[in-house]
Homo-oligomer: A and B are copies of this chain.
Amino acid sequence: MTDKDARTPARWHKSYVEGSRPDIRVPMRQVHLTNGRSVSLYDTSGPYTDPAAATDVRRGLPPLRQHWIVARGDTEEYPGRPVRPEDDGIRHTSPRGGLRNLDAVFPGAPRLPRRSREGGPVTQLAYARRGEVTPEMEFVALRENVSPEVVREEIAAGRAVLPANVNHPEIEPMIIGKRFLVKVNANIGNSAVTSSIEEEVEKMTWATRWGADTVMDLSTGRNIHTTREWVLRNSPVPIGTVPLYQALEKVEGRAEELTWEIYRDTVIEQAEQGVDYMTVHAGVRLAYVPLTAGRKTGIVSRGGSIMAAWCLAHHKESFLYENFEELSEILAAYDVTYSLGDGLRPGSIADANDEAQFAELRTLGELGRVARRCGVQTMIEGPGHVPMHKIKENIDLQQEICDEAPFYTLGPLTTDIAPGYDHITSGIGAAMIAWWGTAMLCYVTPKEHLGLPDRDDVKTGVITYKIAAHAADLAKGHPGAQEWDDALSDARFEFRWEDQFDLSLDPVTAREFHDETLPAEPAKTAHFCSMCGPKFCSMRISRDINERFGGDAAAGSPEEIAEGMLQKSKEFAARGNQVYVPLTERPEQFETAAD
């Protein structure tokens, strides 16, 4: 499918809900139905789907939040850390220096980085605790259809995070917490083996177009700094990273050469660029490494294995754990949100919920308390591979140990036997764990365990996870969640095919699938579909029954109902009991197909 399909769909338009001030404009996807009604849906696609907004990836998105940040007066611009060649993985020692393409440097207007003026926390958590409802909080309140006070309370209590680096003014604020809509993250990122800067930016806009609420840039190859700059400047959603990956590139992949100074420098580099949340594997402590020795699949988290290797090489406690308080003060000065990584998550059904995993989880709970004391918003990352019967124990323990900090889970995958379909093995676990309280789901694509996702894999992963997230919103009884299902089911029952397509998570595919068997235009209004054919359509029979009975017939005593039914069935008979289209009235295109 082409961008056009998604960017300019036939019958919906971008609308904005205005807040208490004209510069608070919350984007919505307004779907216009053929019955005159319209339905508005949560929209993550940013200005790209607004024909009125002229976007240019070489200029970047408008800095929506810039004056909110400046107006708070608690941050200041400063020269910032100079960008060095090694930030893009270029070294004199390297046989292959130079950017892949030198014109790749982001051409948009340069902006000085900002940070806390006094060094104290300039975070949404700090503001919420002070009782302030920021424009960002009002924005998400309108977006989630809850009161701003609920948003402030949840953030203040540490039960929700609003990732919004002061150096990423381009984002449309969103919130992650169990009292809000379940969110979905999509991973992008080149690796040593494949893909380019352009592809990564395109993957980001593509993922948000289909509903990704945040995007993680997990690049590990060259041009990491430059790729990230392009992604950040063009992203309407919060961007997450794993600074450890870039730090490792700076020491040419030799884990034992990592130092706190190199890591710290990398975190500042990324904070100045505007990364909104960072995965930090500070829970992988020296003493936990042996706990993984007896596992079937050892350590499958990249960050976890790197830190384990470092701890072994030096036989020292993790430098992330040792310097966690200082690290927290840095993040607080930019409002970077922690995503405390589960470096020891299980990589197979056999290793689920073992001692290594839970030992680390207890440490993450402890670190979360340190982080919040420093004013840093904090999420906790979760597994991994977990069979269905062990999922609840997982989230219940996380909520208890981590003081209800937002849980951010990968899957979990409910079986190991289906490489090529792990978006499904994990979508099952994701829906369940989200129902039970997970705040954000990290998507898994069909390529998991096998290769890097391409454009179609990214879309399939996002759609699958939007299904899991919405199924959980329904199960949690999130206010308004069911309206979407109801609108689509009404359209289905009334044979408003175009409305059914337009209300779908993926209108393009729904329309394509329908047209494969019934391409002719008349079929778009036909009172049946190719599944049962005209004579067997249960929905039309059932609508027939509805018309003859009306809702009222269900009321009254058994006798009254029986009497009412007798009446109705007489009318029914009087009209010739016709519940089907006689063969002779069947439109020609089905005749031919039928014989």
Interface residues of A (CB under 8 A from B): 94, 96, 100, 191-194, 220-222, 245, 248, 252-256, 286-287, 289-294, 296-302, 304-306, 308-309, 312-315, 347-350, 387-389, 414-421, 424-425, 427-428, 431-432, 435, 446-452, 454, 463-464, 466-468, 470-472, 474-477, 482, 484-486, 488-490, 492-493, 500-501, 503-506, 509-510, 512-514, 516-518, 529-536, 538-539, 541-546, 548-554, 558, 561-562, 564-566, 568-570, 572-573, 577, 579-580, 582-583, 586, 590, 593-595
Contact = CB atoms under 8 A, between A and B. Distances in A.
A193 B583 contact: no
A506 B419 CA distance: 8
B302 A536 contact: yes
Contacts of A593: 193-194
B446 A388 contact: no
A449 B595 CA distance: 23
B191 A471 contact: no
B533 A414 contact: no
A294 B554 contact: yes
Given A192-B590, A471-B428, A545 B289 contact: yes
Contacts of A517: 193-194, 447, 451-452
B554 A291 contact: yes
A96 B545 CA distance: 31
B290 A565 contact: yes
A213 to B, nearest CB: 16
A350 B449 contact: no
A421 B593 CA distance: 26
Contact of A350 (B348, B416, B486): B486
Residue in A253, A428, A452, A493 with the greatest tally of chain B CB atoms within 10 Å: A428
Contacts of A536: 191-192, 220, 245, 248, 253, 302
B530 A452 contact: yes
Contacts of A539: 297-298, 300, 305, 347
A533 B254 CA distance: 15
B467 A415 contact: yes
Contact of A474 (B388, B419, B550, B558): B388
Contacts of A546: 292-293, 298
Given A193-B534, A298-B542, 12 more contacts: A192-B594, A256-B573, A297-B493, A300-B539, A315-B566, A350-B485, A350-B486, A388-B471, A389-B474, A416-B485, A428-B432, A449-B500
Given A191-B530, A542-B300, A569 B388 contact: no
Nearest to A300: B538
- The 6 A-B residue pairs whose C-beta atoms are closest, nearest first, are A192-B533, A298-B542, A348-B489, A305-B541, A305-B538, A451-B517
A66 B293 CA distance: 55
A254 B191 CA distance: 63
A474 B308 CA distance: 30
A539 to B, nearest CB: 6
Nearest to A541: B305
Contact of A530 (B194, B294, B503): B194
Nearest to A543: B298
B255 A513 contact: no
A568 B452 CA distance: 35
Given A421-B467, A463-B418, A191 B532 contact: yes
B470 A415 contact: yes
22 contacts: A193-B594, A222-B594, A254-B580, A287-B558, A290-B549, A290-B564, A292-B542, A293-B545, A296-B489, A304-B538, A312-B548, A312-B572, A314-B569, A315-B570, A347-B539, A349-B489, A388-B431, A388-B471, A389-B435, A417-B504, A420-B505, A449-B492
Nearest to A589: B193
B471 A387 contact: yes
Contacts of A550: 293
Nearest to A544: B309
Given A304-B538, A489-B349, A505-B418, A299 B545 contact: yes
Contact of A549 (B293, B388, B565, B583): B293
A533 B191 contact: yes
A100 B454 CA distance: 44
Contact of A305 (B389, B427, B542, B569): B542
Nearest to A446: B513
A245 to B, nearest CB: 7
A514 B420 CA distance: 9
A421 B486 contact: no
B193 A533 contact: yes
A551 B302 contact: no
Contacts of A248: 535-536
A586 B594 CA distance: 59
Residue in A302, A347, A546, A579 with the greatest tally of chain B CB atoms within 10 Å: A579
A541 B431 contact: no
Contact of A565 (B289, B296, B535): B289
Contacts of A415: 467, 470-471, 474, 485
A388 B475 contact: yes
A290 B563 CA distance: 12
Residue in A100, A315, A552 with the greatest tally of chain B CB atoms within 10 Å: A315
A355 to B, nearest CB: 9
Residue in A485, A529, A564 with the greatest tally of chain B CB atoms within 10 Å: A485
Contacts of A256: 573, 577
Contacts of A476: 389
